[in-house]
């Protein structure tokens, strides 16, 4: 029952998306009806031609010649209409697929980080690429054969009834057997095709993970372990694919067998009727042709049903993504943060990724404009989480965070985030030129501004040594650059924007010591007059901070400047001295 409801809901969603193409669909149905009518008229002409051949020497060649001309014209017209119908069906299908894929990708931009954290990127890619392609294939076959098949069934019934109602009854009684066979098989294929899509997505996720982290795999000699996991998923994919394909492939031969039985029954009853002079030989020939055309759409529709099972299974996964709960919308009266002073306050903030695992509880903090706040503590204490909350990548469970006196939930996300400049330990570059990566936060930047920012970040010298300088093309992971060079580009990006607030999360972790000293000096200049949050593991880099927050288990356990915390001889003092040793 649940499966049937899911299929019905998915089909309704597909039809809802098709509404905007109603005119093209009407054209397609109209062309299908005309094509079928012309196709069904040909057997009548053939029957008339046969009846013009009475006996040796009694052949009306002139009449047959006219019939052949008429058949030729009908065949050409039918071919043209079929071409137009297929063109329209292709247009409808791929415009629908474009719409669905755009919706899915647009939703991806609106999903909260919690969704992306819980779903492998490869699995999401599989939904947007592979599942949409499978959906398109099934839909195209459906459009191409479904309309024509239904029109053919209705048309042949009318023509057969006009020739001999008795023989028509034989066809009508026996043909539904093929539908029962198709329905029986289709019930068992939907779950198999859905499992196939899910397993394929799991495999795509593993491949994506391994391609991105191949160096880590090689460094820890995990090749055999990964191959084992891949083989296991591949074996499961082989098993469910074979089952899905096997059961779906039964549809065609089973329905063809039923169709052959119908054809034989029509031939037998028609021959008896012809002997009894109830119909002519030409009419019998015409009837046999109709019987064949009448049963063929049942065979095609059965195949279409199987393809639609796969298409609906893939469509269901796409619509699951499209209908995922997006991040909370902006408040109706949301304000735009302009010229932020950098005054920030956290009031009784509590947050956890999982309800059963509390992380940050009742956190309070007051930050004055221009202060440099360093955040230190053991792994998992909540340092990065605090940054996520400040940037509103996650919303607090309770309490509030204020910027310039306004709850950040009442500010537009874009204006809030554009007021921060972030340099993270994990670098991110997009496919494009060096220049395009630098101006990401300030597309209108001039050449002079770009070069000045690069010089301030000590990136200009290595950029000029690249084959095309600032026009050098790099891939998503910046494979042609060292990790330190990639981080310098990310720092340049911030240097160009000069936002009022900064977040530096181990920003110089991949840079050599000599360059780090220069970058730290550049950061000191950059942080002048700007509220800055510095997440650091090397405590030697934060001695100049105005306030050092020592976090443990989501709480601030110590607070003060470097000298004050050392004099307390507490957690920070022990941590700092252990690093000095």
**φ, ψ at 425 (rounded to 5°):** -65, -40
Tokens of 354: 């999982």
Distance CA 513, CA 520 (A): 10
Q: Assess contact for 251 and 300: CB atoms under 8 A.
A: no
Residue 80 is predicted with a pLDDT of: 92
Report the DSSP pairing between strands 53-55 and 58-59.
antiparallel
Smallest CA-to-CA distance from 129 within 318, 356, 333, 328 is with 318
Beta strands of 40-84 (E only): which ranges? 53-55, 58-59
pLDDT tens, position by position, 286-299: 777 777 777 777 66
Question: Which pairs with CB-CB distance under 8 Å and at least 24 residues apart come from 205-213?
Answer: 205/120, 205/121, 205/122, 205/123, 205/126, 206/122, 206/230, 206/233, 207/122, 208/120, 208/121, 208/122, 208/125, 209/120, 209/121, 209/122, 212/477
Residue 129 is predicted with a pLDDT of: 82
Distance CA 79, CA 35 (A): 8
What does the pLDDT profile of the chain (581 residues) look like in tens digits? 455 667 778 878 887 888 888 888 888 888 888 888 888 787 777 777 777 776 556 667 777 788 888 888 888 998 998 899 888 888 888 888 888 888 888 888 888 877 877 777 777 888 888 888 878 777 777 766 777 777 777 887 787 777 778 777 877 777 767 667 766 776 667 677 778 878 887 888 788 777 767 767 776 677 788 888 888 888 888 888 888 878 777 777 777 777 777 778 777 887 787 777 777 777 777 777 777 777 777 666 666 766 777 777 788 888 888 888 888 778 788 888 888 888 899 888 888 888 778 788 888 888 888 888 888 887 777 788 888 888 888 888 899 999 988 888 888 888 888 888 887 777 778 888 889 888 888 888 899 999 998 888 888 888 898 888 899 888 766 667 877 788 888 888 888 888 888 888 776 666 677 767 777 777 777 777 888 888 876 666 677 788 888 888 777 888 888 888 888 888 888 877 776 54
Residue 507 to residues 165, 452, 488, 519, 564, Cα–Cα distance (Å): 85, 20, 9, 9, 25
Distance CA 197, CA 201 (A): 6
Give 247's contacts (C-beta < 8 A, 6+ positions apart). Answer: 185, 188, 189, 192
Residue 143 is predicted with a pLDDT of: 66
Smallest CA-to-CA distance from 80 within 41, 22, 34, 29 is with 34
Instruction: Tell how many helices (H) and how many strands (E) occur in the chain.
Output: 21, 14
Residue 536 is predicted with a pLDDT of: 75
Q: Assess contact for 185 and 306: CB atoms under 8 A.
A: yes
Which residue in the block uniquely carries the two structure tokens 């996964």?
A: 317
Residue 581 is predicted with a pLDDT of: 46
Give the 3-state secondary structure of 234-268: HHHHHHHHHHHHHHHHCHHHHHHHHHHHHHHHHHH
Burial of 544 (0-12, 13-18, 19+ CB in 10 A): middle
Starting at the edge strand found earlier in the chain, the sheet holding 547-552 runs: 420-423, 501-505, 531-535, 372-376, 547-552, 555-560
Burial of 111 (0-12, 13-18, 19+ CB in 10 A): middle
Beta-bridge partner residues of 490:
none
Exposed e or buried b per residue across 6-37, where buried means at least 16 C-beta atoms within 10 angstroms of its C-beta = bbeebeebbeebbeebeeebebbbebbbbbbb
Smallest CA-to-CA distance from 542 within 512, 570, 572 is with 572
Residue 254 to residues 154, 305, 464, 529, Cα–Cα distance (Å): 23, 14, 70, 79
Smallest CA-to-CA distance from 403 within 363, 344, 346 is with 344
Which residue in the block uniquely carries the two structure tokens 């181990």?
A: 506
CB atoms < 10 A from the CB of 227, how many? 12
Q: Assess contact for 306 and 142: CB atoms under 8 A.
A: no
Please spell the DSSP secondary structure of 397-466, one letter per residue: SEEEEEETTEEGGGB-HHHHHHTEEEE-SS----SEEHHHHHGGG-TT--HHHHHHHHHHTT-HHHHHHS
Task: Check: pTM over 0.85? Answer yes or no.
Answer: no
Please spell the DSSP secondary structure of 310-337, one letter per residue: HHHHHHHHHHHHHTSPPSPPPPTTPBPP
Distance CA 44, CA 48 (A): 6
Smallest CA-to-CA distance from 193 within 271, 133, 248, 121 is with 248
Q: Assess contact for 549 and 349: CB atoms under 8 A.
A: no
Tokens of 355: 């309800």
Percent of the chain topping pLDDT 70: 89
Domains in the chain, start-ordered, CATH in brackets? 9-19+91-322 (1.20.1560.10), 344-580 (3.40.50.300)
Residue 4 is predicted with a pLDDT of: 63
């Amino acid at each position: 029952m649940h499966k049937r409801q899911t299929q019905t809901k998915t089909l309704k969603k597909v039809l809802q998306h098709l509404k905007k193409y109603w005119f093209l669909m009407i054209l397609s149905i109209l062309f299908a009806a005309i094509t079928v009518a012309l196709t069904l008229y040909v057997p009548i002409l053939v029957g008339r031609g046969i009846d013009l051949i009475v006996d040796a020497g009694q052949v009306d060649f002139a009449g047959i010649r006219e019939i052949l001309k008429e058949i030729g014209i009908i065949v050409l017209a039918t071919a043209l209409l079929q071409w137009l119908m297929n063109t329209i069906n292709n247009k409808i299908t791929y415009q629908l697929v474009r719409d669905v894929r755009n919706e899915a990708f647009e939703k991806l931009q609106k999903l909260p980080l919690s969704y992306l954290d819980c779903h492998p990127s490869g699995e999401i890619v599989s939904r947007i690429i592979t599942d949409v392609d499978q959906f398109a294939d099934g839909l195209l076959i459906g459009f191409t054969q479904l309309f024509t098949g239904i029109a053919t069934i209705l048309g042949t019934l009318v023509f057969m009834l006009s020739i001999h109602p008795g023989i028509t009854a034989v066809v009508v009684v026996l043909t539904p057997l093929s539908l029962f066979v198709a329905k029986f098989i289709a019930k068992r294929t939907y779950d198999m095709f859905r499992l196939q899509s899910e397993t394929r997505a799991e495999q795509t996720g593993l491949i994506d993970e391994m391609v991105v982290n191949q160096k880590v795999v090689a460094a820890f000699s995990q090749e055999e372990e990964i191959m084992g996991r891949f083989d296991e998923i591949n074996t499961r994919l082989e098993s469910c694919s074979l089952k899905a394909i096997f059961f779906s492939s039964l549809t065609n031969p089973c329905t063809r067998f039923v169709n052959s039985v119908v054809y034989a029954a029509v031939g037998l009853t028609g021959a008896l009727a012809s002997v009894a002079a109830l119909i002519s030989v030409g009419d019998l020939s015409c009837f046999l042709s109709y019987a064949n055309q009448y049963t063929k759409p049942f065979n095609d529709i059965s195949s279409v049903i199987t393809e639609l099972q796969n298409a609906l299974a893939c469509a269901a996964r796409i619509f699951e993504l499209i209908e995922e709960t997006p991040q909370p919308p902006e408040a109706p009266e949301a304000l735009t943060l302009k010229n932020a002073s950098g005054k920030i306050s956290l009031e009784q903030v509590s947050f956890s990724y999982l309800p059963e695992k509390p992380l940050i509880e009742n956190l309070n903090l007051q930050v004055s404009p221009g202060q440099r706040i360093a955040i230190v503590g053991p792994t998992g204490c909540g340092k990065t989480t605090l940054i996520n909350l400040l940037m509103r990548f996650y919303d607090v469970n309770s309490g509030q965070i204020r910027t310039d006196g306004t709850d950040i939930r009442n500010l537009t996300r874009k204006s809030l985030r554009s007021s921060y400049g972030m340099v993270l330990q994990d670098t991110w570059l997009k496919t494009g030129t060096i220049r395009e990566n630098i101006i990401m936060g300030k597309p209108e930047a001039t050449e002079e501004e770009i070069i000045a920012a690069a010089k301030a970040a000590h990136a200009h010298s290595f950029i000029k040594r690249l084959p095309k300088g600032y026009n050098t093309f790099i891939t998503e992971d910046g494979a042609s650059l060292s990790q330190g060079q990639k981080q310098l580009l990310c720092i340049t990006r911030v240097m160009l924007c000069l936002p009022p607030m900064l977040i530096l999360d181990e920003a110089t972790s991949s840079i050599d010591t000599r360059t780090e000293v220069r970058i730290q000096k550049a950061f000191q200049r950059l942080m002048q007059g700007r509220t800055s949050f510095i997440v650091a593991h090397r405590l030697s880099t934060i001695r100049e901070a105005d306030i050092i927050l020592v976090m443990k288990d989501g709480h601030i356990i110590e607070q003060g400047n470097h000298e004050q915390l050392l004099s307390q001889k507490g957690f920070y003092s022990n941590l700092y001295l252990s690093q000095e040793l």
